[in-house]
Structure 1
Amino acid sequence: MSTVRRWIPNQHGAWAMLAVPYLAGVLTGSPAWLQLPLFLAWLLGYCAVFHTEQFVRLRRASRNPRAAARHTRPALVLGAATAALGLPLLVAEPWLGVAAALTAPFLAVNLLYARRNRERALVNGLVAVVPACGTLLVAHRAGGGTVAEALAPALACLLYFAGTVPYVKTMIRERRSAAYRRGSVAYHAAALVAAALLNPWLAVPFAVCLARAAVLPGRGIGVPVVGAVEVGCSLLLLGLLVAVYG
């Protein structure tokens, strides 16, 4: 069990970002068999990239060579598993190659930040959000839908998950920064307007997000509660997306 825990990324907040856009793409379209192995490949690929980034980061940042080495096997095994699952999908659906190519520049930026030991940088977090939300387009297309149909819910996901990056910082690493709090609230106010323009019903989850960004920072709330609130907000967004676009 301890070995399994070492192989599973410890960035717990990332799982909602991995799952919600993809599920929204499935549930707002027509579920198809392709979406299941594609989702598994997506999760395996994320795990492989996580361990690769940790290897790159620790190889420079740590004086202990074992710190980086412990990520070598997971990166190789998970990368091979991703390829073994992904290549047949690519043969069956060549358009997935375009989606993978569009993801590559964002992964390159994340690797660059990892190499500089700046994974927690605001820009790095925002960059990671883009391909995660792009999976909504992929999942929707895999079910026979079109990119045009999925564009609005994908933008809604992008607005939401981009906002979680500064908000979570105001709750944990930047909890004493007034500038971060002001920036987070300003972003969420703008996101509320943008979401309402996409669809008036989307104002509901984004109003909740604005309220939590304005009220919760500075109240000494623990990390588990922060995580629980984000799960609730993510599920609220998913429910509204399915109701509006499904």
Structure 2
Amino acid sequence: MKWYIPREHGAWAMLIVPYWIGASISGVQWSHLLFFIGLFALYFAQAPLLTYIRNPKNKDVWPSFFAYISIGSIIIIPFFLTNFSLLWISLSILPLFMINLVFAKLKKERWFINDLIAIIALSSLLLLAYRLTEPAIHFEAYKYVLLNVLFFTGSVFHVKSLIREKNNKMFQRTSIFYHIMVVIFTAVLQLFGAALTFLLSLLKTLYVPKSYLKRPLQIGVVEIINSVLFFLLVIYW
């Protein structure tokens, strides 16, 4: 059996960071780790599914797809049965992932709007981690969801400006403008940890020489470091 693994490693950070921010602000417990393993298995199921959607000739995707789905379901369903709010949150996020599948079918996955929808969907997983140990979802949870959406949108702007839009001056100027605005926005709201992270992202966009960021691996390492800084500064400041 061929094990399909998601190729979009940047999306792993979009899954991991919001979830563990949600766990951290609600109080990390062992249940968070177990639920995350199930969630991660379900996320891996999208790799064989997307492979089939892109090319239906790939018939070998189904064993790994059903293996991932089975592992994830075995872990997560008991949580749903004891906490129905987790089920409703999941069902509210599911349509966003379905839209991503439509873009894949249309071969428009590289569109910015598709990235934004994926960011919103993955950032919303923070609510699952938060509700896992909290009796209700409070305003702070939505605030952190917004911060994740802003951060990863900036990351997409930066990465695209280095690869697919590297010759698009308008896109690069839009990226810089976006980074400036999110720094101002978070600073005005006195979210200083987030503002500092966005400022570092802005400085990275402006001053890190593009000659140092030509290969996807190099870009990925920088974005991972930036994601770790975002996580730490948002949680502890």
**Common fold by TM > 0.5:** yes
Residue of structure 1 equivalent to 2:231:
238
Contact 2:212 2:218 (8 Å CA) reproduced:
no
Whichever residue aligns with residue 28 of structure 1, its letter is I
Matched, 1:113 2:113: no
For residues 44-85 of structure 1, give each alpha carbon's deviation from its aligned partner in whole angstroms, at most 9, with x where no partner exists.
Answer: 1111123212211212xxxxx2xx223222222212222222
Q: Over aligned residue pairs, what C-alpha RMSD do you find? A: 1.9
The worse-fitting range, judged by mean Cα deviation, of 127-136 and 25-34 is: 25-34
What does 1:171-210 align with in structure 2 at a 5 Å threshold?
171-198=162-189, 199-210=191-202
**Cα distance, 1:220 vs. partner?**
5.6
The worse-fitting range, judged by mean Cα deviation, of 172-181 and 123-132 is: 172-181
Could you tell me how far apart the structure 1 residues matched to 2:16 and 2:127 are?
A: 13
Residue of structure 2 equivalent to 1:49:
46
What does 1:55-204 align with in structure 2 at a 5 Å threshold?
55-59=52-56, 65=57, 68-144=58-134, 146-198=137-189, 199-204=191-196
**Cα distance, 1:177 vs. partner?**
1.5
Q: Runs of at least 4 residues of structure 1 off by over 6 A?
A: none
Could you tell me how far apart the structure 2 residues matched to 1:107 and 1:144 are?
A: 25
For residues 108-163 of structure 1, give each alpha carbon's deviation from its aligned partner in whole angstroms, at most 9, with x where no partner exists.
Answer: 11010010112121111110001211122221221226332322222111110111
Residue of structure 2 equivalent to 1:34:
31
Whichever residue aligns with residue 226 of structure 2, its letter is C
The worse-fitting range, judged by mean Cα deviation, of 131-140 and 121-130 is: 131-140
Could you tell me how far apart the structure 1 residues matched to 2:158 and 2:109 are?
A: 16
Could you tell me how far apart the structure 2 residues matched to 1:134 and 1:159 are?
A: 12
The worse-fitting range, judged by mean Cα deviation, of 73-82 and 40-49 is: 73-82
Could you tell me how far apart the structure 2 residues matched to 1:217 and 1:162 are?
A: 21
Contact 2:119 2:149 (8 Å CA) reproduced:
yes
Aligned length: 234
Whichever residue aligns with residue 197 of structure 2, its letter is P
Structure 2: runs of 5+ lacking an equivalent:
none
Contact 1:32 1:142 (8 Å CA) reproduced:
no
User: Pick from 8, 13, 19: which aligns with 1:22?
Assistant: 19
Identity in percent: 26
**Cα distance, 1:217 vs. partner?**
6.8
Could you tell me how far apart the structure 1 residues matched to 2:138 and 2:122 are?
A: 15
Q: What SS does structure 1 have at the residue aligned with 2:108?
A: coil
Contact 2:49 2:65 (8 Å CA) reproduced:
yes
Structure 1: runs of 5+ lacking an equivalent:
60-64
